[in-house]
């Protein structure tokens, strides 16, 4: 009972920290980064945080072993892979999408989608994660921008679609360059949380 109470308090503390981070990143985006543009290209700090979060915390579902893969059917493997995204990344993405919908004319479904997808690339090894952080943010940011462009095109805003396609790669590149600023503190939090969890077991 006591152990459960301790874990509940830890979980509540982690959720509170995540909420504060979301608000801080959103305010930095609005108050600071929105003023620094390179033509029409603007760094998207919320999308960068969504990706870094998903890559860092990943999926709670353990990866299948080689023995499990050998005895599993192809449909079962595909379903497991689809379900092995990052729930917390999707939730963080949904929060940011709700905030973004107050300043843009659509709910950006790309945010929770990219948050979930980032969990597929979760790496527990610190050195691997640090090395692959920038290319993963570049790839997933580009994908996120394209998804948003397609969404707006389906809503009839074709001029926005062509504009977003043109600036999607430069924005993804900017996001990738600032990714380490978010990655290292978040990774430190992840390692500390994992250490605390192991120390209570």
Look up the pTM and report it.
0.76
β-partners of residue 37 are 42
- Give me the residue spans of the domains in the chain: 2-200
Dihedral Cα 120, 153, 39, 22, nearest 10 deg: -40
pLDDT, residue 128, reads: 67
**And the tokens for 10?**
């830890």
Chain segment 25-72, per-residue pLDDT in tens: 888 888 888 777 777 778 888 899 888 888 887 765 555 555 555 556
The arrangement of secondary structure in 2-200, i.e. its CATH architecture, is Orthogonal Bundle (1.10)
Q: Is the pLDDT of residue 195 over 80?
A: no
What distances in angstroms separate CA 70 from CA 65, 74, 84, 85, 135, one per listed residue? Answer: 9, 10, 18, 22, 31
How many other C-beta atoms are found inside a 10 Å radius of the C-beta of residue 92? 28
CB distance 40 to 167 below 8 Å = yes
- Which pair of structure tokens corresponds to residue 84? 């092995």
Which pLDDT does position 138 carry in this prediction? Answer: 92
Could you tell me if 59 and 85 are in contact, meaning their C-beta atoms sit under 8 angstroms apart? Answer: yes
Q: What is the pLDDT of residues 129-181, one digit of tens each?
A: 777 888 989 999 998 888 887 887 777 766 666 666 677 888 899 999 988 88
């Amino acid at each position: 009972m006591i152990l459960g109470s301790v874990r509940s308090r830890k979980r509540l503390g982690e959720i509170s920290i995540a909420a504060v981070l979301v608000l801080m990143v959103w305010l930095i985006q609005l108050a600071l980064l929105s003023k620094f543009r390179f033509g029409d290209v603007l760094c998207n700090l919320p999308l960068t945080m969504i990706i870094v979060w998903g890559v860092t915390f990943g999926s709670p579902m353990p990866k299948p072993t080689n023995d499990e893969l050998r005895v599993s059917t192809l449909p079962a493997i595909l379903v497991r892979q689809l379900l092995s995204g990052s729930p917390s990344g999707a939730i963080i993405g949904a929060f940011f999408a709700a905030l973004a919908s107050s300043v843009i004319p659509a709910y950006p479904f790309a945010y929770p989608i990219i948050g979930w997808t980032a969990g597929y690339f979760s790496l527990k090894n610190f050195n691997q994660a640090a090395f692959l952080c920038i290319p993963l943010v570049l790839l997933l940011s580009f994908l996120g921008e394209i998804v948003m462009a397609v969404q707006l095109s389906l809503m009839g805003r074709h001029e926005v679609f062509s504009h977003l396609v043109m600036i999607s790669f430069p924005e993804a590149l900017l996001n990738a360059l600032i990714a380490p600023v978010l990655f290292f503190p978040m990774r430190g939090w992840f390692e500390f949380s994992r250490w605390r969890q192991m120390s209570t077991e």
